[in-house]
Structures are given as structure tokens and as C-alpha cells.
Copies of this chain bind each other. A is one copy, B any other.
Amino acid sequence: MNKKVTINDIAMIANVAKSTVSRYLNGGSVSVHTREKLDGIVQKYNYTPNTFAQSLKQQTNHTIGVIVPRLDSIAQSDMLRGLDELNIDDTFLIINVYQDSARELAAIEKLQSQNVSGLIILTANLTEEIRSVIKASKLPTVIQGQDEAEFNRVIMNDIQAGKTVGNYLQKLAPKNVLLLNVDMSLDYAVGHDRFVGIKSALNGMPHKEIITDFKLNIAKQSAYQAMIHEDFDLIIGATDRIVVGAMQSAFALHQKPRYIGFGQSYFSETVSPNLTSFEFSFFEAGKELYRLFRKVRDNNTIQIQRIVIDGKLIIRDSTN
């Protein structure tokens, strides 16, 4: 590692005090003469401040800890892209916690010990312990995904999503509907909110609800079990991934139901038939998260905020 040039070196070379250089760098008052002198020297020696020294001095830094439950998902990477989009001078320290709350807790504690200036938690599924660690940390924090009353949050409008899908499914006039849902204690926004409108639209219609899992293979099995005993002409899954599982079972069973999914995934346009699904812009969600985070960090007396992102139903071949 080649020695980096420090503010002291610059000061020596320019024959001024280092405080003058510091002022010069931070936009303090400097005479035209010294400014010009320093312009050249800083350029020439390619000076960049030592961020550790800065952070140590200023007791804060521009690193934001971002906790993501998984990385192999378009929703997550779109949100991260949204964060990047609006970012100017922050650095995101992204930590994948592999959907494991023990890892999540450890990550938060590690981030704290690294003195990050705040926390952005994607697709939060907080345990009581995690909640209290965050609150104890006093770090500016913004979460996404669950409607946690005590935290600043950006959430997807799953109620609207369910309502929209409910309206649409009535037009489809199905004879027998299979709902593939997930346990609401695992994900309330999905397991509960997303299905309120659907169930109300389904009132009086023949249908069956199965609780399955986010994983493709498990969803596939659950769907298979249900479909082998009963014929469905419309399948609604809590996520696109779940629907794809069902599609594979239908393929195996030579059935051809219609499908509706949720989410914006690789799947919607790569499976055949292309999937009708209710989609949220996670990219927008990412931008909102960053905006909200800035507000919270720069103005720490702010009231808890709640931002809701709407989505829309994209009709594709799977409901034709």
C-alpha cells in the first residue's frame, strides 16, 4: 500500500497550516491566493481525505446499513437499485441475512458496532428482540414490507392488491378457485392483507384455500396434493413463485387452469403462459425508502411516517 498523502503533507507543501487546508477543503474562508495554490497542489497530489479520521472526528459517517433478507430476488435488487438511484454521498453496506432472524439480529449488532449512520431494513419481518435492539440503538431506521406502527416504513398496498384481484376474478367467473396462501404469522402483509379482498370477492363461490410456503418446491407439492383431488379452473398464488409451482403440478397432471400471481419476478414473462399478476414497483419503493431515510436522519424530531406504494394488475396470457 503506497502511503496516502494527508492534509498535513498538503499543508507542508503549500506552506500553510493544516487548518487552512481543512478550511479550504470544507468551504471555509480562504484567500484567493491560497485557494489557487491549494487547488493546484490538491489536484497534483490527488489528495482524498482519510474517511476514518473524518468519521472519528465527526462522530458520524455516511454509511447506511441495509439489511436484505435475500439477494436472489428481483424485488430486493429493484429496491436496492431504487436506493442507489437517489443516493449522492452515502455508502450502502448491504448485508444478506438469508431470511434468518438470528443472522438479522447479529447483522444489526455488527452494523451498530461499525457505527453506521442508520438502518434500512428491506422486507422486514421483525422479531420482538430485533425491534428492541433497533429501538435501543437510536439509529435512524426505516423499514419496508410490514406495517410496523413503531417504525418509519414504506409498505406495499396489499389491501388494494387483493381488492383489485378480487374484482378481476369476479369477471373471470371461475367455477372453482384454488388459493395458495402462506401462513400469516410468517408474513402478515402477504398472508393476510393480500387475501382480504380476494376472499371477500370469493364469498359464495366454490373455492379452497391451502397454506403453503414461499419456496417453489413446497408450493408445487401443496398444489399437487390439492389438484389431484379436485379440479380448479383458477389458481391464485400469494406470490408468482408459488404460482409457478402450481403450474408445474398442473403440467404434470395435464390440467390447464388459469393463474393469477403477485409480484414482479423473473417468472411473469418467462413461464408459459405468461403470468397475470399484480405488480408493485419495488424500484419506486426503494426510492421512497431512501427519501424517507434522509428525512428521518436529517431531522430527528420527525414523527413516525408511513408510506404506501400502490401497484397494478398486469393481465397476461394466464387468464385467457
A residues neighboring B (CB under 8 Å): 1-2, 4, 48, 50-53, 55-56, 59-61, 70-72, 74, 76-78, 80-81, 84, 91-94, 96, 98, 110, 113-115, 138-139, 216, 244, 247-248, 251, 266-267, 269-272
CB-CB nearest in chain B for A250: B272
A-B residue pairs in contact (CB < 8 Å), sample of 14? A1-B59, A1-B139, A51-B113, A53-B56, A71-B80, A72-B74, A77-B96, A81-B96, A84-B96, A91-B93, A94-B94, A266-B270, A267-B270, A270-B271
Bound CA span A267–B270, Å:
8
CB-CB nearest in chain B for A270: B244
CB-CB nearest in chain B for A266: B266
Asked if residues A51 and B270 are in contact (CB atoms below 8 Å), the reply is no
What are the nearest 3 A-B pairs in CB distance?
A71-B77, A52-B56, A72-B77
Select which of B4, B50, B251 is within 8 A of A272 by beta carbon. Answer: B251
CB-CB nearest in chain B for A72: B77
CB-CB nearest in chain B for A3: B59
Residues of B within 8 A of A81 (CB): 71, 96, 98
Asked if residues A51 and B115 are in contact (CB atoms below 8 Å), the reply is yes
Asked if residues A91 and B77 are in contact (CB atoms below 8 Å), the reply is no
Asked if residues A138 and B48 are in contact (CB atoms below 8 Å), the reply is no
Residues of B within 8 A of A114 (CB): 51, 91
CB-CB nearest in chain B for A140: B1
Tell me the minimal C-beta distance from A223 to chain B in angstroms.
14
Select which of B52, B56, B77 is within 8 A of A115 by beta carbon. Answer: B52
